[in-house]
Amino acid sequence: MAIKIFGNFFGRIFSSLFKNKREIKLGFYGPPNVGKTSLANRICKDFTGEELGSVSKIPHETRNVQFKEKVEIAYKGKKLVFKLVDTPGIATKIDYEDFLKYKMGKKEAKTRAKEATQGIIESIKWLDDMDMVVIVLDATENPYNQVNITIIGNLVARKIPVLIVANKVDLKKADLKRIEAAFPEYDVIGISARYGKNLEEFYESIFKLSKKV
């Protein structure tokens, strides 16, 4: 009996140590140009001092899945280790002509379009590997977009915990209430990745969500 109690005690300690050391794969998903990389960069910069990827006003700047391993996030005395996975924006259509208005040559636009399509396919493939996902939306845009619904539906079906983040709340056109109304079952965290606004609430939500992993 004493041996059994002793065994259980050490079992709990070892499993808790293992749990704390485990790297949680945290994916950043959403449509193009909503600020997924800006948010991932902000987190990386805060906790590792380095950025993860480049950002641009031109859609589909991120065309490959990029990640940063062993990012230890500390919040209110607690620590969790994450693998941050920044994914290319998911869209249902790609037209190289859309890139021409950004003063891009035809050849460059076609290459970017080709890489963007490959990036979308890669993003979808990575859905299988996520432990939890942050859906990043643009607070100035209409949230009733089928891509958002499809990705969230897919994650719900896979029982992957989801957090919705409405980025760009610093902009005048931002409408957080519209996004909250579209997703009433979720806490929607309004942030500005660019200016680091409301990231405390974001980290708190991430820690809360990690308990479901």
Told to check if 74 binds another protein by CB under 8 A, we report: no
Closest-CA residue to 187 (of 205, 169, 161): 205
- 100-104 CB contacts, 8 Å cutoff, 24+ apart: 102/57, 102/58, 104/58
Told to check if 8 binds another protein by CB under 8 A, we report: no
Pairing outcome for strands 66-75 and 78-86: antiparallel
Closest contact distance (angstroms) between CB of 114 and another protein is: 5
Rounded distance, CA 188 to CA 185, Å?
A: 9
Q: Report the SS3 class of residue 22.
A: coil
* Residue of 43, 109, 120, 136 interacting with another protein (CB under 8 A): 120
* Residue of 16, 78, 181, 200 interacting with another protein (CB under 8 A): 181
Locate tokens 């820690």: which residue?
Answer: 207
From residue 127 to residue 166, the character string flagging contacts with another protein as x (rule: CB under 8 A) and all else as - is x--------------xxx-xx-xxxxxx-xx---------
* Residue of 117, 140, 207, 213 interacting with another protein (CB under 8 A): 117
Told to check if 186 binds another protein by CB under 8 A, we report: yes
Closest-CA residue to 188 (of 162, 163, 153): 163
Structure tokens at 137: 């939306």
Told to check if 176 binds another protein by CB under 8 A, we report: no
* Residue of 71, 85, 90, 130 interacting with another protein (CB under 8 A): 90
Locate tokens 């996975």: which residue?
Answer: 85
Closest contact distance (angstroms) between CB of 63 and another protein is: 13
Told to check if 34 binds another protein by CB under 8 A, we report: no
Enumerate residues 93-112 that contact another protein by CB under 8 A. Answer: 93-95
- Which residues neighbour 41 within 8 Å (Cβ) at sequence distance 6 or greater? 51, 52, 53, 55, 193
Provide the binding-site residues for another protein, judged by CB under 8 A.
90-95, 113-114, 117, 120-121, 124, 127, 142-144, 146-147, 149-154, 156-157, 181-186
